[in-house]
A and B are shown apart, each in its own frame.
Chain A
Amino acid sequence: MTKGTEIGRVRGYGSAHHGAHHWLLQRFTAAGNLVLVWFLVISFALLPGFDYATLKDWVSRPLVATALALLIVSVFWHARIGVQVMIEDYVPNTGSRFAVTTFLNLAAVGGAMFGLVSIARIAFTGAA
């Protein structure tokens, strides 16, 4: 057991370099979203139609399924961080904030998993 005060124990250690983690992840996922959502936007502009057969055939292509799966991860991660920041700004009560953040985590992971399973099902069962 070391002696001294808490400030004495950490003094001189410098930054733990964890403070900006949340902020950086918001930027990394933003860069991912920029590429992947534009992939979706351009694809919508180029697709010949939006009927069931066309879309299912499109999603079932390996590269498209990969891009959409990455999009799900990047977008849900980014949204989870963004909504958390809003909660931290507008929910002042610590207990409520914990409860809402817990629900947010469950909803974000659950939603992302549903998206991934849906893409996997389309990809692995092949074109309609």
Chain B
Amino acid sequence: MADRPIGPHLFDGARPHWRWGPHMFASILHRITGNGMAFVGLGVLLWWLGSLAGGADSFARFSEAMGSPLGLIVLVGLSWAFFSHMSSGIRHFVLDVGAGYELKTNKFFAIVAPLTGIALTIAFWAIILTK
């Protein structure tokens, strides 16, 4: 192979010619949280609605599973995935109109978006758990 430059793909780690930056982290986090919600979140959403439609017994099984330590980890994880994906999604809306590409601005919001996701997750569970 000629020693020519190759595209900065995530799995080209054998020849690192790029280094991690906040914008890369925000990008892959957006994909991970989005697909995580698609595969896990939608399943939980359907289980929740299906068990409610199924009656008191089926809802009790759902409620028991989600009230378990593992269930709570899943729910907290999903809420974090939503708040993170929403924050970086709004960042994408801004980038879509052509704004926020200046290096410092881009870096700043790539850091702010994931932190906003974590802050909203903490605020949400503070409200839920103190009810």
Contact = CB atoms under 8 A, between A and B. Distances in A.
Interface in B32-61: 34-35, 37-39, 42, 45-46, 49-50, 52-53, 56, 59-60
B82 interface: yes
Nearest to A79: B38
A34 B86 CA distance: 7
A82 B128 contact: no
A34 B49 CA distance: 20
Contact of B49 (A48, A50, A82, A119): A119
A86 B31 contact: yes
B124 A118 contact: no
Contact of A111 (B42, B53, B90): B42
A125 to B, nearest CB: 8
Interface string B73-90: 000000100100010011
Given A30-B89, A115-B46, A52 B60 contact: yes
A118 to B, nearest CB: 4
Contact of B96 (A27, A75, A86): A27
Interface of A: 27, 30, 33-34, 37, 41, 44-45, 48-52, 55-56, 59, 68, 72, 75-76, 79, 82-83, 86, 111, 114-115, 117-119, 121-122, 128
Interface of B: 31, 34-35, 37-39, 42, 45-46, 49-50, 52-53, 56, 59-60, 63, 79, 82, 86, 89-90, 92-93, 96, 124, 127-128, 131
Given A68-B49, A83-B35, 16 more contacts: A27-B96, A41-B82, A44-B124, A45-B128, A49-B131, A52-B56, A52-B63, A59-B49, A75-B42, A79-B37, A82-B34, A82-B35, A111-B46, A115-B46, A118-B50, A119-B53
27 contacts: A27-B93, A27-B96, A30-B89, A34-B86, A34-B89, A37-B86, A41-B124, A45-B124, A45-B128, A50-B63, A51-B63, A52-B59, A56-B52, A59-B52, A68-B49, A75-B45, A76-B42, A83-B38, A83-B39, A86-B31, A86-B35, A111-B42, A114-B46, A117-B53, A118-B46, A119-B49, A122-B53
